[in-house]
Structure 1
Amino acid sequence: MRSQAVDHIALLPLYAAAGTAVLALLADLFAGRRPVTVAVTLLGALATAVCAFAVVPANPTFCATGGCSWVPTSSAAVAAALFAVLTAGVLAFSMPALRLGAAPAGEYCFLLACSMTGGVTVSYAGDLLTLIVGLETLTLPLYVLAGLRRFAPTERPSTRPAEAAVTFFLISVVSTAIALLGIALNYAATGTVHLALLGPAPVPFAALAGVGAALLVIGLAFKVAAVPLHAWAPSTYDGAPIPIAAYLSTASKLGGVLALAAIVARLDTGAVLSALAVLTMTVGNLVALRQSRMVRLLAWSSVAQAGYILAALAMGATGVPAALAYAAFFVVLELVAFGVVVALRPATLPASAGQSGGTSADFDGGTFGDYRGAARRHPWLGAAFVLAFAGLAGLPPGLAGLFAKVSVVEALVAEGWIWLAAVVVVNAVIALAYYVRVAALLYTVPAQPGIAVTDPALVYDATHPRLPVSRPVAAALLAATVVAAILGFAPQLLFDALT
């Protein structure tokens, strides 16, 4: 039996993330000022990222009987840092709404930091139980955060945020139960929960282990919004505050990909994952073609992108590097896209709340018509949006997305999955229709002055002043865009770090 000694150096990223959550509450309790609470949370997220890279040489800890529950690796450090960066970015996107009192800053920062703690746990998890605990810690705070728009100051009360939170909660509970059943069956067949010890079960229990692996994959597929557990994503994204929708589409999905990658690298789940991949990318792209609301388009687009990731994971251990690289590229580009939506849909209190008019803090992502000509008023925001869409579509200058798709297709062809590679290519071509359509709309001037839109303030009009962009939002969006641009020109850097 191996030593049960705890290596606290290896646990530094977890301590930093959990400490950030505690410090956010203490700052809110003793200082009572929003800027202090937000600053503490941002610094905590930065400290988490630094600690993740600082402990890369650390030894595994919580080890027993040949397996360890906490395994520091270079890829785990990159994933943990990504969770920290995504948390910081989403918090920056949330500052205009927090300034208007859409949510208590202390509770909001605490919940985000708790979710980040779950993401860090998933990154370093060395057994199935730690993996599930990390995923639930990542997800549970988002149930509350998804419904916060219900309590925002608004002239038009809406039940959509509550419906989004309840839908998210119910489907998540079912999927977690399925995953736990899969873990139980697999443990009964193999006698282990450590990832390092997972493998083919003895012949008498092979069928039981196969059922357990399939149930585990299906349960975890919820986290990446894979078909048929995808129905929660569009309604939840559209009902949640836009920054939280960004977090759901990036950090939550990254956690699901990491969990699936840990399973498929050791268990034979190719048949289940290939079927899920085909359904997910096809349904996501076809339904995205019918969308007219921006956040719903991004939601269905993220469903389709999950299909490409699942296609790589269907190959097992050989497809994990391509899947992780694709997931990392995807979350950065998705963060840029949602950041532009936040910047173009500024929240201000309604006139009835004592302000000098303006739009509602309950604002959602709006319809496509609300973005018509927006890039002419905000050129750099339009350029960032086009970069994100080009990357997601796999077109220049978003070469990171092209590199990711090519990596997946090359890996599939090399392993003999030519039919699945063909499905990926066909779906990538289908996706061009809605990405190009929205990108072109950003630079389109209405042909007739009387064109109907939901929010005329966002339509290009040379006589109308440009809408202001919050400085924290602009800073976070600029940083994310720069990272996306660097990855676009040197995608191999991230690929090497993850593999």
Structure 2
Amino acid sequence: MTQSVDHVALLPGYLAAATAVLVLLADLFVARRAVTLVVAVCGAVATAVVAIVFSGARATFCLPEGCSYVVNSRSALFAALFGFLTAGVLLLSAPLLRAGVAPAGEYCFLLACSMTGGVVLASAGDLITLIIALETLTLPLYVLVGMRRQTMESAAAAVTFFVVSVVATAVSLLGAALLYAVTSRLHLSSLGPALTGDVSLAGGDPVRALDLPLTSAGIALLVLGLAFKVAAVPFHAWAPPTYDGAPLPVAAYLSTASKLGGVMALLAVVTVALPPAVTGPVLAALAVLTMTVGNLVALRQIRMTRLLAWSSVAQAGYILAPLGALALSPGRTGEAFDTAITAAVSYTVFFVVLELGAFAAVVALREPTADGGRLDSYRGAARRTRWVGAALALALIGLAGLPPGLAGLFAKVAVVRSLLTGSSGWLAVIVALNAVIGLAYYVRVAALLYAPDPLNRPTRAIPWPAAGVLAAATAFAIAVGFAPQLVLNWATG
């Protein structure tokens, strides 16, 4: 059977892949660091803009069972977010590349390849496309994490990330293979009905697919394999050492774009393919464990990057919480279902923007070749570099869900509202309690920025790339905080 190809639907993916090729050509023929970086940034921004412009409902690579590539407003939002995140991380990387820590051509090429995987993942309509796109997003990061030359921490972080990610991929593939063995379906739109219908076994009467142990094992393995990608407890141990050992801009990409990819994959399989009545309790348990462990361990951190890493673990719990409430809306319809999906998507968007702003401030406060450093080294930072310190404090307050961090405040309210709408009041109470625990370390670090500096260190200039990313991330976070309906309209797809 022949398939028609909608090249307009594929245009963001084409641009992302073309960016990687152009970066290689620019590095080969021009061999100037600035030119390579500009080509990569322009390609990433163009990918994001095209994803927004062509955000109408489209599909390609279609069969009677379903389509392998589906574009809608939600996938366009995620693709655009990937493009802008990549552009921001590239700008943050300018001081790192100027210091010769990593070769510009290879660095920009790997980030562009990872962005291509993220853009394709946003529109994945079958399990094969989803898993391949997720691995395309992840594979370049193994190398990027190890690019702090001559440091044992960077090499150890790269090996840890590689081993854990390979195991997670194997688990996800095994789960997908088991589901295919039961249903003979790969497309997400047809997998759901097949799982809730009957299957014929050799020499026996038809039975419901969900009643088979093989089906339960496949669903569990697929969900748990994807839980590795979002660093959900108890599959989180790789995140803090990997973030701390990676170059700071790469850690920023890991905590934003990489987590965004895992959330997109979970959303795709949970909201379209897998039965919410089965996945809901599992995701609710993961959410409670993730937010509680993340917040409690973050209280004891003395290094900035590890604190942000454990903070991102806790934030993943808040994202998973609305998905855990989907068990009460098994028909994938109704106000509870729509509110839960909207809350998960909007919280992801706000978290990614605020997290990027926090890392941009850390990059601006540190030397290009340095790691995140100890929290004590940030004492009085807002007195030495007023605007950077204020931006970091705003990002931390936003992650805590306090005003004036309006984006974070709206995101947490949206999550709690979705849980109350879905009659998951007990989970809403746990989210609220964990938000209070999170205040302890967010506010502590924000206060440390304004504490008197006993060393009287001089004022430090802000690197222009970090200043630009800080300004953009802060402006966007404030803007969407005042106009949350803009994100809601995109999140509902």
TM-score normalised over the length of structure 2: 0.92
Residue 278 and residue 344 in structure 1: after superposition, are their counterparts in 2 closer, same or farther (change >3 A)?
Answer: same
SS at the partner of 2:182? helix
SS at the partner of 1:320? helix
What residue is the counterpart of 1:205 in the other structure?
A: 209
State whether residues 397 and 488 of structure 1, in contact with CA within 8 Å, keep that contact through their aligned partners in structure 2: no
* 1:286-301 to 2 correspondences below 5 Å: 286-301=296-311
- Cα deviation for residue 158 of structure 1 reads 2.7
Q: Distance in 1 between matches of 2:469 and 2:321?
A: 31
Is 1:340–2:350 an aligned residue pair? Answer: no
1:45-78 Cα distance to aligned partner (Å, 9 max, x none): 1110121122223630000123001111011111
What residue is the counterpart of 1:177 in the other structure?
A: 170
Moved more, 18-27 or 473-482: 473-482
Q: Distance in 2 between matches of 1:128 and 1:321?
A: 23
Is 1:271–2:281 an aligned residue pair? Answer: yes
- Cα deviation for residue 204 of structure 1 reads 4.0
Is 1:48–2:41 an aligned residue pair? Answer: no
Is 1:35–2:41 an aligned residue pair? Answer: no
State whether residues 346 and 469 of structure 1, in contact with CA within 8 Å, keep that contact through their aligned partners in structure 2: no
Residue in structure 2 matching 1:432, options 411, 418, 439 = 439
Is 1:116–2:120 an aligned residue pair? Answer: no
SS at the partner of 2:71? coil
What residue is the counterpart of 2:385 in the other structure?
A: 378
1:395 maps to amino acid: L
Consecutive unaligned residues of structure 1, counting only runs of 5 or more, are: 152-156, 348-360, 450-458
SS at the partner of 1:68? strand
2:62 maps to amino acid: C
TM-score normalised over the length of structure 1: 0.91
What residue is the counterpart of 2:237 in the other structure?
A: 231
1:370-417 Cα distance to aligned partner (Å, 9 max, x none): 000000111111111111111111100112111111111111111111
SS at the partner of 1:62? strand
Q: Distance in 1 between matches of 2:81 and 2:459?
A: 33
Q: Distance in 2 between matches of 1:198 and 1:411?
A: 26
Moved more, 264-273 or 254-263: 264-273
What residue is the counterpart of 2:95 in the other structure?
A: 96
> Which runs of structure 1 show a deviation greater than 3 angstroms over 4 or more consecutive aligned residues?
none
Q: Distance in 2 between matches of 1:498 and 1:23?
A: 32
Residue in structure 2 matching 1:407, options 391, 402, 414 = 414
Moved more, 287-296 or 312-321: 312-321
1:184-207 Cα distance to aligned partner (Å, 9 max, x none): 111122221111112234244313
* 1:134-149 to 2 correspondences below 5 Å: 134-149=133-148
1:19 maps to amino acid: A
Moved more, 55-64 or 404-413: 55-64
SS at the partner of 2:68? strand
Q: Distance in 2 between matches of 1:435 and 1:411?
A: 24
Residue in structure 1 matching 2:313, options 288, 303, 316 = 303
Moved more, 200-209 or 260-269: 200-209
SS at the partner of 1:80? helix
Residue in structure 1 matching 2:291, options 272, 281, 287 = 281
Residue in structure 2 matching 1:215, options 203, 206, 221 = 221
2:139 maps to amino acid: L
1:353-380 Cα distance to aligned partner (Å, 9 max, x none): xxxxxxxx2x100111100000011111
SS at the partner of 2:93? helix
Is 1:22–2:21 an aligned residue pair? Answer: yes
Calculate the aligned-residue CA RMSD, in Å. 1.3
Q: Distance in 2 between matches of 1:191 and 1:420?
A: 36
Residue in structure 2 matching 1:330, options 342, 351, 355 = 351
SS at the partner of 2:67? strand
Is 1:60–2:81 an aligned residue pair? Answer: no
Q: Distance in 1 between matches of 2:215 and 2:407?
A: 38
- Cα deviation for residue 226 of structure 1 reads 0.4
SS at the partner of 2:8? coil
Q: Distance in 2 between matches of 1:338 and 1:94?
A: 11
Q: Distance in 1 between matches of 2:389 and 2:465?
A: 18
State whether residues 111 and 141 of structure 1, in contact with CA within 8 Å, keep that contact through their aligned partners in structure 2: yes
What residue is the counterpart of 1:247 in the other structure?
A: 253
1:426-482 Cα distance to aligned partner (Å, 9 max, x none): 111100000000000000014xx4xxxxxxxxx6x2xx4311221122112211111
What residue is the counterpart of 1:352 in the other structure?
A: none
1:135 maps to amino acid: L
Moved more, 315-324 or 18-27: 315-324
State whether residues 406 and 477 of structure 2, in contact with CA within 8 Å, keep that contact through their aligned partners in structure 1: no
Residue in structure 2 matching 1:468, options 442, 452, 461 = 461
Q: Distance in 2 between matches of 1:387 and 1:476?
A: 14
SS at the partner of 1:61? strand
